[in-house]
Chain A
Amino acid sequence: DTGVSQDPRHKITKRGQNVTFRCDPISEHNRLYWYRQTLGQGPEFLTYFQNEAQLEKSRLLSDRFSAERPKGSFSTLEIQRTEQGDSAMYLCASSRRTGGAGVTEAFFGQGTRLTVV
């Protein structure tokens, strides 16, 4: 399978605990994105990386959230001191930056569903 892979698919945690999610992008894609989706809403952009550099963070990404992409390959999203409001589907996507005016669509993984109890 050469798509975007996310692990775990589901995570139930107690309020106040830390959680970490992993995303493996499509191998030739140099851009990696994290989104969050809650019920009845579209995905909301959190942050993205070009290779290992984190280029943009949404104001939704509070200081309890941190994302890394060491060596420009897989990425992790950590949430510290989870709150019930963090319950959502966390989606990872990847795309390939091209030179000139070319753009490529973002391909999404199946997501990690987080439930904070």
Chain B
Amino acid sequence: DQQVKQNSPSLSVQEGRISILNCDYTNSMFDYFLWYKKYPAEGPTFLISISSIKDKNEDGRFTVFLNKSAKHLSLHIVPSQPGDSAVYFCAASPRRKGGGADGLTFGKGTHLIIQP
């Protein structure tokens, strides 16, 4: 059973427009969420994270929104640039007492393609 779901295997967006990537989770114990970006033949690169005590976190062109009641989060990229073309993974972790993330549960990823 997939505890983190990314239902769109791919997404095509025009350069300069907003890219919205979605992620749903089922495990109520998750309270720390991350987005990773992955280019071919490379390891995932951390992009942005959000703790369950917040509903929004922004870093430059990237904003993550968390809706705990719906168990849904989304990543907004605006404006989208050609270099944003990559596979984006949503990941989640329960936060244990004492801090620190445990092993992450990843979604299957969404391949974002930015069209010039």
Q: From known contacts A98-B99, A103-B51, A103-B99, infer whether A45 and B104 are also in contact, taking CB-CB under 8 Å.
A: yes
Q: How far is the CB of A75 from chain B (nearest CB, A)?
A: 14
Among B34-50, those with CB < 8 Å from A are 34, 36, 41-46, 49
Q: Do A41 and B104 touch (CB < 8 A)? A: no
* A56-B102 CB under 8 A given contacts A40-B108, A43-B89, A105-B34: yes
Residues of A within 8 A of B105 (CB): 45
Closest residue of chain B to A48, judged by CB? B103
Residues of B with C-beta under 8 A to A100: 99
In the complex, how many residues of chain A place their beta carbon closer than 8 angstroms to a beta carbon of chain B?
Answer: 35
Q: A95-117: which have CB < 8 Å to B?
A: 95-111
Within 8 A of B (CB), among A59-109: 91, 93, 95-109
Q: For B42, list chain A residues within 8 Å (CB).
A: 110-111
Q: Which residues of B contact A47 (CB under 8 A)?
A: 103
Q: Which positions 60-109 of chain B face chain A at CB distance < 8 Å? A: 89, 91, 95, 98-109
Bound form: Cα–Cα A4–B43 in Å? 10
CB distance from B54 to the nearest CB of A (A): 12
CA distance A45 to B105 in the complex (A): 7
Q: Are A33 and B43 in contact (CB under 8 A)?
A: no
Interface residue from B34, B89, B98, B103 paired with A45 (Cβ < 8 Å): B103
- Chain B, Cβ-Cβ closest to A58: B103
Provide the residues of chain B in CB contact with A33, threshold 8 Å.
Answer: 103-104
A108 CA to B103 CA, complexed, in Å: 13
Contact yes or no, B100 A111, CB < 8 A: no
Given pairs A31-B101, A93-B43, A108-B46, 14 additional interface contacts (CB within 8 A): A6-B43, A35-B103, A43-B44, A91-B44, A96-B100, A97-B100, A98-B99, A102-B99, A103-B100, A105-B34, A106-B34, A108-B44, A108-B45, A110-B41
22 interchain pairs, CB-CB under 8 A: A35-B103, A42-B4, A42-B108, A43-B89, A45-B105, A47-B103, A48-B103, A56-B102, A91-B43, A95-B100, A97-B98, A98-B100, A99-B98, A100-B99, A102-B99, A103-B51, A103-B99, A103-B101, A107-B46, A109-B43, A110-B41, A111-B43
